[in-house]
Amino acid sequence: MAAIPLTPEQINALSRELPAWSLLNGKLHRELRFSDFVAAFGFMTQVALVAEAMGHHPEWSNVWNRVVVDLTTHDTGGLSDLDLELARRIDALAAEGAGR
Ligand SMILES: C[C@H](O)[C@H](O)[C@H]1CNC2=NC(N)=NC(=O)C2=N1
């Protein structure tokens, strides 16, 4: 999937469209907390399958029940439509029940 860089207008609109995310060091950043490690890792497993299908992968870390996600596009050296789409899908999976 070819990544299309986000326009400045799209970047300005991010906080409205993705309120759970912030811009940190030029990347889309979200921190999630789950009930325990299994819930956190289950969520990561679901995201991993989505990411692999998209050919677009998060930078992330996990400590017990917490998951920290940063989205950026290495191919373009900035934010792209793929980061926006992956963030939306991560929000959907998080809302689906795994946690917060
Ligand atoms: C060939 C392969 O699809 C590319 O290298 C993909 C893999 N996953 C990726 N993930 C992210 N976050 N950015 C990329 O530019 C990227 N490129």
Q: 0.90 cut: is pTM over it? A: yes
Q: What is the reported pLDDT for 69?
A: 99
pLDDT (tens digit, 9 = 90+) per residue, 38-84? 999 999 999 999 999 999 999 999 999 999 999 999 999 999 999 99
ipTM of the modeled complex: 0.96
Write the Ramachandran bin of 37: left for phi over 0, alpha for psi from -120 to 50, otherwise beta. Answer: alpha
Give me ligand 1 centre to Cα 95, in Å.
Answer: 25
Q: Any idea where the domains of the chain sit in the sequence?
A: 17-98
Q: Residue range 74-100: average pLDDT?
A: 90
Give me ligand 1 centre to Cα 42, in Å.
Answer: 23
Cα dist. 23→7, 18, 51 in Å? 15, 11, 20
Please give the class, per CATH, of domain 17-98: alpha beta
Measuring from each residue's beta carbon to the nearest atom of ligand 1, which residues come in under 6 Å? 55-57, 72-75
- With b for 16 or more beta-carbon neighbours within 10 A and e for fewer, the 27-54 pattern comes to bbbbebebeeeebbbbbbebbeebbeee
